[in-house]
Amino acid sequence: EPEVTQTPSHQVTQMGQEVILRCVPISNHLYFYWYRQILGQKVEFLVSFYNNEISEKSEIFDDQFSVERPDGSNFTLKIRSTKLEDSAMYFCASRAVSYEQYFGPGTRLTVT
Amino acid sequence: AQSVTQLDSQVPVFEEAPVELRCNYSSSVSVYLFWYVQYPNQGLQLLLKYLSGSTLVKSINGFEAEFNKSQTSFHLRKPSVHISDTAEYFCAVSDPGQGAQKLVFGQGTRLTINP
């Protein structure tokens, strides 16, 4: 069964450093998403991506964040200058024309 | 903006007992509703969904949820739980009229099954 994969599973970085979180969505899916979950809080929407452009972004998704689908298979989330409050679990999701979003296992980002 | 409330952060039950995890959402317009489950150290898995039609939806592992428009609820139930059902359960809503159809999640309910 096809699945969404994410790498790395855990990333530790120092404040101010750039990080890139990688996702490989399910191959025939058209819509791609990033969500995050700060420890003990709810899962929050960050951004959606369709037809090679951002279709919606939340208030969290400021200029420090960017997304890219560089090669038709990978979907990346970049944080340019990480802050302590960026520490969270980051989930990638994808969906086809149907309405179910399929989630990856997540990347735990720890900013020290 | 839509919001989802899961009234119970933790629900402990004994094995083979029934369970109900409550979910209420804020929107009064058409919605799609979902329950996701997160087993320890794993990602979110879709458990069941309501898009339209029958208000009672069922999963393959015995869970069911009922869409109640008048009460804006989508409670999850199982008549007899197993140890393997121990997980965190998230209720989520999306707006079918919105292109991206982002999911808005509740806080999650941690279901703990005791032998």
The tens digit of pLDDT for each residue in B73-112 reads: 999 999 999 999 999 999 999 988 877 789 999 999 999 9
Q: Which residues pair with A47 in a beta bridge?
A: A34, A57
A90 and A75 Cβ atoms separated by less than 8 Å:
no
Q: How far is A42 from chain B (nearest CA, A)?
A: 4
User: Residue B28 — very low, low, confident or very high, per pLDDT cuts 50/70/90?
Assistant: low
B7 and B21 Cβ atoms separated by less than 8 Å:
no
DSSP characters over B39-56: -TT--EEEEEEE-SS-SE
CB atoms within 10 A of CB B28: 8
User: Residue B35 — very low, low, confident or very high, per pLDDT cuts 50/70/90?
Assistant: very high
Best to test chain B binding among A43, A55, A56 (most B CBs inside 10 Å): A43
Length of chain A: 112
Inter-chain residue contact B90 with A4, CB threshold 8 Å: no
CA distance B73 to B6: 10
Output DSSP code: residue A78. Answer: E
Inter-chain residue contact B105 with A42, CB threshold 8 Å: yes
**Dihedral sign, Cα of residue B24, residue B32, residue A99, residue A75:** negative
User: Residue B42 — very low, low, confident or very high, per pLDDT cuts 50/70/90?
Assistant: confident
Inter-chain residue contact A101 with B107, CB threshold 8 Å: no
Instruction: Residue window 28-47, chain A: list those with CB within 8 Å of chain B.
Output: 31, 33, 35, 41-45
Q: In the predicted model, what is the mean pLDDT of residues B11-18?
A: 96
Inter-chain residue contact B46 with A104, CB threshold 8 Å: no
- Asked if A24 is an interface residue toward chain B (Cβ–Cβ < 8 A), one would say no
pLDDT at B96: 84
pLDDT at A21: 98
Cis-peptide into B79, omega within 30 deg? no
Q: How far is A51 from chain B (nearest CA, A)?
A: 11
Per the model's pLDDT, the better-predicted residue between B5 and B1 turns out to be B5
Average pLDDT in chain B = 92
Q: What is the dihedral of CA B77, B64, B91, A101, to 10 degrees?
A: 160
Token duo for residue B14: 């004994």
Can you give the pLDDT of all 112 residues of chain A as single tens digits? Answer: 789 999 999 999 999 999 999 999 999 899 999 999 999 889 999 999 999 999 999 999 999 999 999 887 899 999 999 999 999 999 999 998 878 899 999 999 999 9
The beta-carbon neighbor of A99 closest among B32, B43, B44 is: B32
